[in-house]
Amino acid sequence: MQYAVQKCYDMLANNGMALFVIGDTEYKNVKVNNSKHLVESLMQSGFSEVSIAKRKISNKLLTPYRDENGKFTSDKSKREIYHEEFIVIGTKHNLGER
């Protein structure tokens, strides 16, 4: 994730924005806070403004369940996946040029 964020930062012009849609998840009963990690990666890469918003997913195209291996499935007896996602926006400002 850090590599992708750094590439975005390097490609953006001053005042450019990068927008990501990401969901937190769980794997083998361990919660994975992808959105928090993304925000930290943006800040470490040099984005000077980072904002995050949460939105509910009401009409998901993907199957809403995961099997024991974390793969998507339509089997309703399996674990239901998240019903929300995060919109994370990073803005690149060169120092003194806001």
Return the domain boundaries, the chain: 2-91
Helix (H) or strand (E) holding 19: strand 17-22
CA distances from 58 to 43, 61, 77, 85, 92 (A): 30, 10, 20, 11, 32
Structure tokens at 7: 């590439």
For residue 83, what pLDDT is reported? Answer: 74
Q: What is the pLDDT of residues 39-76, one digit of tens each?
A: 999 999 999 999 999 988 766 555 567 777 777 777 87
**pTM value?**
0.76
Q: What is the pLDDT of residues 11-32, one digit of tens each?
A: 999 999 999 999 888 777 788 8
